[in-house]
């Protein structure tokens, strides 16, 4: 029978279209989806009811392609002379690979950027309709109505047209219906704030972050990550999508791969060379073994030493004993250099941040950001040296396997690989909630141990050893049960993947053997394929689980990026000068300040401290006294007004020179967990042992230190917990004495010191204050009676100022505070108070309860303190 008209066109164009259809549809969808992700196209929810027709039609497409493949397969089995058209079979197999994940996405997801789907439907209809017309036009009339592939193609063309119409209606839909079905979860997790989502994934997180769960217990430990995701979603919007967001990470490249470090450049070059040669040797090694096998199969009688030598050389170069050890060393050098640079960058930035950050930070998150700075290097390693080579290897593998046998073998591997990755994704998703629970149980178990160890005395006081032991055992058992649940889900996934791998390998070998039996391929190709199998399959494991590694690396990098994006609120001005202290005169001029603009802390504060004067701040707690010292230290910048030292505005000098000129004894001193000598030397790093001991003598702590078994080498514990409150404050005083600053600030520096020691400290302070400007905050007013100027601060305002005697004569707020602290005494100073103060004396006595600050003085009056020189008793008289 003569060929019908147009058969030449069919035989030339149709195979090309068959080969092109699946790749064009696939790459269009991936490209459109990636573009939508980068520019943050807003996704809209589409309910399951609304997309049922779309799901049904895509499943019909898959069923049509499967039916056509089965038709070719069954006919080839029934008729040995029949050879299925390879281009048509490949078109069906490729389309099954494309439409299976797309259908799965339509079923499992609720929110969509619909343009990629619409375009894929259009391309599907174009190819299906054109191929259908060409195939039908080339067939004889009597065969057109009975040709099964043609009939299936017509049905698929009609289904594709319906998909275009249905998806076009969805595009025209102004407001998406809110999906109520729960069969799909956003890959990025839910977002309470309702930010944009795209491609079925909410734009509130780090790409493939572990999926959110609805279990409150499981979600609880993820709160810090949720906050990071919300911050990242905001930055995604500000930077116009993922392109701008990922571009922000490029600021780390100079630290990861510094161009000025020849070691890193050399190591990076070696890694790239190893990467390239690895791609080549992955092919050459099994190929060489196949060549040897073919020569032996052909009856070669001479030993193929050359081929064996090449095969050995390829194996050695590609092994750890060859170039592999060089690559490993290069990777170690790059990692260590990057870790040092990134970690120091994060630490320096953290320490340069202002007090407003350090008073509101989450210490755990900040420390984690600094410690996990190396995750950036891990992220680069994963993307460039693991994921990218995997993709290259897969493309090479598909081409090489096709040349070894034919395209059907490549599709066998593709289908198995897709199933392997899909199983890994599904079981990983299923195991994530159990993993969260397991981690939370571990955290609870660790918390229990820490609480009981740190509170051992409380446990002993109440004799609760048995109770705590049972509580800890219960937590351990809960952790073990959670681990079993996580373990079985994870191992179930591994078992399913291994089963699929075994079946797929058997099918591929059976296919290869059939080709060898028929004489189409030599036996060496089978050996090459078996050797090459592990090279093809090892990337599949990395692909199926790499998104978890990628997401965790990205969230760790995000922590660091958020930290580095936090700017200090107090910085040196451009061209700031060094502070030069001559007289030590300090002036506060019209100072206003607020931590929060909704509540003013300091209101129009103005005063001047001449060089060498002692200025005391008194007043009720929360009035703003400590804030004055923080402003002088420039932990914060004033809202209005100026603070000047010897006429130099603090904002015009460097922070380093300012803080070198100041010394502070805080109310709550904190020491490093080092020796006493190291803690005191921290104030002056080049101080001699003699200078340290002299400072401790002046602070009346030397004798106490010498009674310790290890003396000055005694460890003080974390934050100085092994010392008493009085010892802590005296060591803090010794540090300031050693620093010998121009301006001294004492924030309740004697609150934890008994009266006997206080006399010695006051004498040390008099020596320290001589010729220096001193600021004192005191609730114990007896410690500041000799101050040159006393400022009474109430609710951020200076309401009184003057000397001790002047303020008592005035009979105001200071007199009231003094009277409360000295109630019941008849000192000569009280007789100057006046009739008003005397008339309120009995009323004050009724309401007075000794404050914590006065407890030491009370104890001294009762004779309970050692070394009491009577100073405390005399002050109470």
- Measured CA to CA in angstroms, residue 782 lies from 759, 762, 779 at distances of 11, 11, 9
What tokens were used for 455? 């509170």
CA 44 to chain centre: 29
Q: Residue 111: helix, strand or coil by DSSP?
A: strand
CA within 13 Å, CB half, 31: 8
Please say whether the beta carbons of 673 and 716 come within 8 A.
yes
Taking the CA atoms of residue 562, residue 565, residue 566 and residue 570 in that order, the dihedral angle to the nearest 10 degrees is 170
- Measured CA to CA in angstroms, residue 516 lies from 149, 294, 511, 524, 530 at distances of 30, 12, 9, 9, 14
pLDDT along the chain (877 residues), means of 10: 50 81 89 76 80 90 91 84 84 88 85 86 92 79 72 90 88 54 35 36 32 35 54 60 65 72 85 83 81 78 82 81 82 81 78 71 62 64 73 79 82 82 79 81 84 84 87 91 88 86 87 84 85 77 67 68 75 83 87 84 88 86 83 86 88 87 82 88 88 86 88 84 81 86 80 65 70 83 84 87 88 86 52 38 34 37 36 32
Identify the pLDDT of residue 863. 35
Q: What is the DSSP letter of 318?
A: T
State in Å, rounded, how far the first CA of the chain is from the last one. 132
Q: What is the DSSP letter of 325?
A: H
Distance CA 458, CA 456 (A): 5
Question: What burial class does residue 114 get, using C-beta atoms within 10 Å of its C-beta: 0-12 exposed, 13-18 middle, 19+ buried?
Answer: buried
| The residue to which tokens 């100085």 are assigned | 720
What tokens were used for 272? 């790239």
**DSSP string of 357-396, one letter each residue:** HHTT--HHHHHHHHHGGGHHHHHHHHIIIIIHHHHHHHHH
Please say whether the beta carbons of 259 and 265 come within 8 A.
yes
Q: Residue 45: helix, strand or coil by DSSP?
A: strand
H runs (alpha helix) in 109-221: 115-138, 141-144, 148-172, 216-219
- Sign of dihedral through CA atoms 197, 202, 204, 209? negative
Which among 618, 549, 576, 608 is positioned nearest to 820, based on CA atoms? Answer: 618
Please say whether the beta carbons of 556 and 224 come within 8 A.
no
Backbone torsion region of residue 863, taken as left when φ is above 0, otherwise alpha when ψ lies between -120 and 50, otherwise beta: left
Backbone torsion region of residue 18, taken as left when φ is above 0, otherwise alpha when ψ lies between -120 and 50, otherwise beta: alpha
Distance CA 344, CA 350 (A): 10
| The residue to which tokens 């970690």 are assigned | 343
- How many other CB atoms sit within 10 Å of the CB of residue 825? 12
Please say whether the beta carbons of 561 and 618 come within 8 A.
no
Distance CA 793, CA 781 (A): 14
The H helix count followed by the E strand count for the chain is 34, 14
Residues in the chain: 877
What tokens were used for 330? 């290069």
Identify the pLDDT of residue 480. 93
């Amino acid at each position: 029978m003569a060929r019908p008209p147009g058969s030449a066109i069919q035989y030339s164009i149709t195979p090309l279209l068959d080969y092109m259809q699946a790749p064009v549809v696939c790459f269009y969808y991936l490209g459109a989806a990636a573009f939508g992700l980068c520019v943050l196209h807003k996704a809209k929810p589409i309910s399951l009811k609304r997309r049922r027709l779309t799901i049904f039609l895509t499943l019909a497409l898959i069923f049509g392609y499967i039916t056509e493949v089965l038709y070719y397969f069954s006919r080839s089995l029934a008729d040995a002379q029949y050879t299925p058209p390879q281009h048509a079979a490949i078109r069906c197999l490729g389309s099954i690979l494309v439409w299976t994940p797309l259908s799965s996405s339509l079923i499992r997801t609720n929110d969509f950027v619909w343009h990629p789907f619409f375009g894929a439907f259009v391309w599907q209809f174009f190819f299906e309709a054109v191929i259908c017309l060409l195939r039908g036009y080339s067939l004889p009339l009597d065969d057109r109505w009975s040709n099964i592939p043609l009939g299936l193609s017509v049905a698929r063309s009609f289904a594709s047209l319906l998909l275009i119409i249905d998806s076009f209606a969805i595009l025209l839909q102004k407001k998406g219906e809110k999906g109520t079905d729960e069969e799909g979860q956003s890959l990025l997790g839910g977002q309470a704030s309702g930010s944009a989502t795209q491609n079925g994934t909410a734009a509130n997180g780090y790409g493939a972050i572990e999926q959110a769960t609805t279990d409150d217990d499981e979600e609880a430990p993820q709160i810090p990550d949720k906050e990071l995701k919300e911050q990242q979603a905001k930055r995604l919007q500000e930077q116009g999508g993922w392109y701008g967001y990922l571009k922000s990470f490029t600021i780390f490249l100079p630290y990861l791969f510094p161009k000025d470090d020849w070691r890193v450049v050399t190591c990076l070059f070696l890694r790239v060379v190893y990467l390239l040669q690895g791609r080549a040797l992955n092919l050459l090694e099994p190929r060489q073994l196949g060549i040897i096998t073919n020569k032996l199969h052909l009856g070669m009688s001479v030993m193929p030493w050359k081929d064996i030598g090449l095969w050995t050389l390829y194996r050695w170069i590609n092994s750890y004993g060859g170039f592999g050890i060089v690559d490993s060393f290069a990777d170690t050098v790059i990692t260590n250099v990057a870790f040092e640079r990134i970690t120091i960058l994060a630490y320096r930035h953290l320490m340069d941040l202002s007090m407003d950050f350090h008073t509101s930070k989450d210490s755990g998150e900040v420390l984690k950001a600094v410690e996990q700075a190396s995750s950036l290097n891990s992220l680069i390693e994963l993307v460039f040296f693991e994921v990218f080579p995997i993709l290259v290897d897969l493309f090479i593998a598909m081409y090489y396997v096709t040349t070894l046998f034919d395209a059907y073998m490549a599709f066998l591997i593709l289908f198995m690989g897709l199933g392997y990755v899909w199983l890994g994704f599904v079981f990983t998703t299923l195991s994530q909630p159990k993993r969260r629970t397991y981690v939370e149980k571990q955290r609870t178990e660790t918390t229990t141990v820490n609480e009981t160890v740190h509170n051992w005395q409380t446990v002993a006081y109440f004799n609760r050893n048995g109770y705590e032991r049972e509580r800890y055992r219960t937590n351990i058992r809960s952790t073990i049960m959670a681990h079993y649940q996580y373990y079985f889900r994870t191992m179930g996934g591994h078992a399913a993947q291994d089963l699929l791998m075994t079946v797929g390998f058997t099918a591929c070998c059976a296919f290869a053997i059939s080709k060898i039996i028929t004489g189409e391929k030599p036996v060496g190709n089978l050996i090459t394929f078996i050797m090459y199998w592990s090279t093809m399959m090892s990337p599949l494991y990395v692909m199926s689980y790499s998104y978890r590694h990628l997401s965790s690396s990205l969230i760790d990098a995000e922590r660091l990026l958020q930290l580095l994006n936090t700017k200090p609120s107090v910085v040196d001005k451009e061209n700031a000068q060094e502070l030069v202290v001559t007289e030590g005169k300090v002036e506060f001029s019209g100072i206003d300040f607020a931590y929060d603009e909704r509540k003013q802390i300091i209101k129009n504060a103005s005063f001047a401290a001449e060089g060498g004067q002692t200025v005391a701040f008194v007043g009720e707690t929360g009035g703003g006294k400590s804030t004055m010292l923080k402003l002088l230290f420039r932990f914060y910048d004033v809202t209005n007004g100026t603070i000047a030292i010897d006429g130099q505005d603090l904002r015009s000098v460097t922070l380093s020179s300012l803080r070198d000129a100041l010394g502070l004894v805080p109310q709550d001193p904190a020491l490093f967990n080092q020796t006493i000598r190291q803690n005191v030397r921290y104030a002056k790093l080049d101080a001699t042992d003699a200078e340290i001991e002299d400072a401790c003598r002046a602070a009346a702590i030397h004798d106490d230190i010498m009674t310790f078994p290890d003396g000055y080498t005694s460890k003080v514990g974390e934050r100085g917990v092994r010392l008493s409150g009085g010892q802590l404050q005296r060591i803090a005083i010794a540090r300031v004495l050693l620093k010998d600053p121009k301006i001294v600030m004492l924030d309740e520096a004697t609150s934890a010191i008994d009266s006997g020691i206080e006399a010695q400290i006051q004498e040390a302070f008099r020596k320290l204050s001589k010729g220096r400007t001193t600021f004192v905050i005191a609730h114990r007013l007896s410690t500041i009676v000799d101050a040159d100027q006393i400022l009474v601060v109430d609710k951020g305002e200076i309401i009184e100022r003057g000397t001790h005697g002047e303020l008592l004569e005035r009979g105001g707020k200071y007199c009231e505070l003094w009277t409360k602290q000295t109630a019941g005494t008849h000192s000569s100073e009280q007789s100057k108070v006046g009739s008003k103060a005397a008339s309120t004396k009995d009323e004050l006595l009724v309401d007075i309860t000794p404050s914590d600050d006065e407890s030491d003085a009370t104890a001294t009056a009762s004779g309970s303190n050692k070394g009491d020189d009577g100073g405390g008793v005399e002050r109470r008289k």
